[in-house]
Amino acid sequence: MSLKVLHTANLLLGKTFNNRNYPAEVRQQLVESRFKDLVKLVSLANMYIPAGFVNRFVMVYVSLFK
């Protein structure tokens, strides 16, 4: 039996970057890019771990900010 695993580091979803002196537009782009990266990771996992593969596991570690 084989097992395929995709594990990520903390993606810090929702981080606002308010503690930096970035312009508001740049902060928004940084926030959105983290979610786009998550979509890319899931797409890659689906591409490399076939849907019929019984033992597949995707673990994404995130911190959500208010």
Q: What is the tens place of the pLDDT at every residue in 10-54?
A: 778 778 888 889 999 999 998 889 889 888 888 887 777 666 666
User: Rounded distance, CA 31 to CA 53, Å?
Assistant: 33
Confirm whether 10 is domain-assigned.
Answer: yes
Confirm whether 19 is domain-assigned.
Answer: yes
Q: What is the pLDDT of residue 65?
A: 64
Confirm whether 65 is domain-assigned.
Answer: no
DSSP one-letter code for 35:
H
Three-state DSSP at 2 gives coil
Listed residue (9, 1, 3, 15) closest to 56, CA to CA: 3
- Which structural domain, as residue segments, surrounds residue 21? 4-59
Tally the domains of the chain.
Answer: 1
User: Rounded distance, CA 38 to CA 59, Å?
Assistant: 11
Confirm whether 15 is domain-assigned.
Answer: yes
Q: What is the pLDDT of residue 25?
A: 94
Confirm whether 27 is domain-assigned.
Answer: yes
Confirm whether 51 is domain-assigned.
Answer: yes
Note if the pTM is more than 0.85: no
